[in-house]
Chain A
Amino acid sequence: MTLSLKSRFTGIIAASAVALFAAHAASAQAIAQGGDLRAALTGEPDVLDPATSSIYTGAQVYEGIFSKLIDIDADGNFVGDLATSWTQNDATTWTFKLVDNATFHNGEKFTSADVKYTFDRILDPATASSYAGLYSQIDSIDTPDDTTVIFHLKSPFGPFLTNLATNGEIVNKTAIESGDPARQPVGTGPFEFVDWVQGDHITVKRNPTYFKAGLPHLDTVTFRFLPVDQSRIDGLAAGELDWVDAIPLQQVPTLQSDERFTYVSSPVAGIPDFIAMNTKVAPFDNPLVRQAIALAVNRSEIRDFAYLGTGELGLTEMPTGSIWYDDAGLFGSERDVEAAKALMAEAGYPDGLTVEYLGLPQYPELLKTGQVLREQLKDIGINLEIKPVDVSVWFDDYVNGNYQITSAYQERTIDPDNFYSLVIRSGGPINTTFYANPEVDALIDKAAASVDMPERMALYQQIRGIVSKDAPIVFAHFETLHYLMNKNVLGSAITPVLSLHMEDVGFAQ
């Protein structure tokens, strides 16, 4: 499967979509039924309850155990999962028809009541779900019959379908209330939970009553937790593993061309990294200083030095392979040192100044971004002092505004609203720059309330223009994902929702 290499470098949406589709179709024919896949993740999940798990490795595992109502395919289109069809009755009402042949791993039949229970539970404050915000627009849920579910929204909400496709794994009431949802997940997904040996691995096995015919291909998947990058590559090379997540960046060029492995990457999804400035404290309470920083950033240097040439130049919250990508009308998309210096002088710092950068050594690339930035800012007279802190300290300081400037990232941005409502809107839960612009707030709300795609796209273009000019954050890089697997492993692809889709993966015949 050489699809993603090509698509990664062309960066053309259509090409990548076609390549992905072609590879998927081609590999689907050649995949054998059966086999035990040994996969390595970058760490151990926290819990396997979709409502309370808050780390990426948790989602990577539980997504194979649960099903959602709908999903997003590689082209960015919504496709049915537990829902067979969906219609928007009016601006605030959505009706979903459900499959009739899905059963939970505990034997209970899946019905519309489970859908209602799932979202009621996420929204219940007692669950303390981090994802409640994604569904706060849900007013009530009706279940006229077992295969129909109707969502009544409080107001029109553009990202509704996206949010159903990214989270909202359907759970079973009996399993949640009388079982151990954190450690013994029960879903309707392609794989059933088998065991979890803390500190070592989680095993899942084929669900024999899975509602999608012919899937999954594999008999079992064992997810091992290997946080040391080199251990994953060594394990693959030694034949101890079949599939690994996240390749050490310095090895990407050699491993890409290694005959033994298939390298998979794609610009349809990933993680936007940005420089965040605290707009409540000097000197970044002055927009001119923030603009100067935006103009002083050289993104190709960040990509070359901090990310060793991997990933994409970060200009927006979206990767180039997303249907939402649009880099028109951005402020500071090209470096302009003279203009930046002029802004510094205008801001009252003609002789420069010293600022403290909160560094996060836990994510070496972010810290390296800080180091590259330090060199770039010297050109405009800013002396960046890097103060590295532990991840827990960084979280505390970042969330509570005890910092001047830092590097941060945002996970799972599938709809632009996932980014702007959380990070940019005033009072947003992750608005850690304390940026507040009523005009932008109004535009974010308008874009969220719209269900008209072209209108939303135009609104986000407008938002990006204003935010890049106000510069509470400056996008620095877009990290793409990459998987590495043995040549005989087929069907693995980067999906827009970052799900591993292990149901499509299998061994060559």
Chain B
Amino acid sequence: MSALGFIVRRIGAAILSLFAMSILVFLIIRLVPGDPVRTMLGFRATDENVARLQHELGLDQPMLSQYMSWIAGLFRGDLGQDIVSHAPLSELLLQRLPVTLELAGLSMTLAVLFGVPLGVLAASGGPWSKRLTEGFVVLGISIPDFWLGIMLVLVFSGILVVLPPTGYVPFAQSPLENLRYMALPVLTLAIGEAAYVLRTTRGAVINVMGRPFVTFLRAKGISPRRILFGHALRNAGPSIVTVVGIQVGVLLGGAIIVETLFALPGVGRLVVTGINQRNYPVVQVGVLAIATIFIVVSLITDLIVGWLDPRVADGMMQ
């Protein structure tokens, strides 16, 4: 099977996963007790108004026909409407996806830029560098995002007053301001991620360094530096990339908390607000969007791993 066939098969699997995801999210949000219209109308809701709105929103229809009309809408490119604000969801997603993608993208880039070199250092350096990196890993993995975020705000906004505690400016409007506002949320997510990447890199590099071909390279008189970066890291690559790909999912989960904490208008915050309001269309489309990102990232991860280690690609193709 060709590489193209591999990609087509993966995309087919991705579509199936999304389909399963759509059923799951549709059912789960409806199984949660609580009525969206009552929550929306508040204390002054009369039974007539509740019934009227339920009818207008199609919530008095049987579940199956609600699901079918939602899916049919998706195929037509109609994502539906936020039932509280009446805003079209396509517009909302277009505003909010870039925020979440930037947050996740920058955090992961930062995590890789720090985590990989530190991981190599931890695998090959002296006892002090090992101890320091071990300390960082334990702290980075154990500290919850929400606490780290609050502490960063305290230091950088409260005491030093150099970075804004909340808010957002679109990149297109002012790149510099955008980065200023993104700095603390990105740092909050990146520190924990960097710890994971570091740990994975360290483990993978130590593992590779113990293999016979490394002993052979040493015997050939190749410099330790070249062995480390030219051979060991290249061989450790697939494991690191795989973990990074999976961690993107964790990162998207963390983005929900971080977006709420820093008042970033991203998809995560959209979904959280949607869940509280029982805003079915928002939750459905928001979760599906996050799932799509994750599935696309997994696909890219597999392709990169296949490119780094053709044996893996062969294995996946068969």
User: A residues bordering B, Cβ < 8 Å?
Assistant: 44, 46-47, 54-55, 125-126, 128-133, 180, 182-183, 197-200, 224-228, 230-231, 234-235, 237-240, 362, 389-393, 395-396, 399, 410-411, 422, 429-430
Contacts and interface: CB of A to CB of B under 8 A. Distances in A.
Contact of A228 (B38, B263, B265, B278): B263
Contacts of B7: none
Given A200-B168, A234-B153, A393-B34, A125 B48 contact: yes
B39 A226 contact: no
Contacts of A389: 33
A126 B46 CA distance: 13
20 contacts: A47-B85, A128-B49, A130-B46, A182-B85, A197-B95, A198-B87, A198-B92, A227-B260, A228-B260, A230-B153, A231-B166, A234-B153, A234-B158, A234-B166, A390-B34, A391-B276, A392-B278, A393-B33, A395-B34, A395-B35
Contact of B44 (A133, A198, A226, A392): A133
A395 B33 CA distance: 10
Given A198-B265, A230-B150, A392-B278, A55 B42 contact: yes
A399 B261 CA distance: 32
Contact of A234 (B86, B157, B260): B157
Contact of B265 (A55, A180, A199): A199
Interface of B: 32-36, 38-46, 48-49, 52-53, 82, 84-87, 92, 95-96, 150, 153, 157-158, 161, 164-168, 260-263, 265-266, 269-270, 273, 276-278
B46 A133 contact: yes
Contacts of A44: 273
A224 B265 CA distance: 11
B96 A430 contact: no
Contacts of A55: 42
Nearest to A38: B167
Interface centre among B42, B53, B161, B266 (most CB of A within 10 A): B42
B263 A430 contact: no
Given A392-B33, A393-B33, A130 B44 contact: yes
A272 B41 CA distance: 20
Nearest to A240: B164
Sort A-B residue pairs by CB-CB distance and give the 6 closest, nearest first.
A392-B34, A199-B265, A234-B165, A130-B44, A200-B265, A54-B42
A429 B46 contact: yes
Given A133-B44, A197-B95, A430-B43, A395 B85 contact: no
Contacts of A227: 260, 263
A46 B161 contact: no
A434 to B, nearest CB: 15
A240 B167 contact: yes
Given A182-B86, A199-B95, A240-B164, A430 B44 contact: yes
Nearest to B164: A240
Given A183-B87, A226-B263, A399 B38 contact: yes
Given A44-B273, A199-B265, A392-B35, A54 B44 contact: yes
Contacts of A411: 43
Contact of B269 (A126, A197, A199): A199
B88 to A, nearest CB: 10
B165 A131 contact: no
Contacts of B164: 235, 238, 240
Given A197-B265, A238-B157, A390-B34, A54 B40 contact: yes
B29 to A, nearest CB: 11
Contacts of B48: 125, 128
A411 B263 CA distance: 26
Contacts of A226: 166, 263
Given A125-B52, A230-B150, A130 B276 contact: no
A339 B158 CA distance: 52
A235 B278 contact: no
A422 B42 CA distance: 13
Given A231-B166, A238-B158, A396-B34, A128 B43 contact: no
Contacts of A231: 165-166, 261-263
A50 to B, nearest CB: 13
A392 B92 CA distance: 23
A393 to B, nearest CB: 5
B178 to A, nearest CB: 13
Contacts of B33: 389-390, 392-393, 396
Interface centre among A55, A126, A180, A200 (most CB of B within 10 A): A200
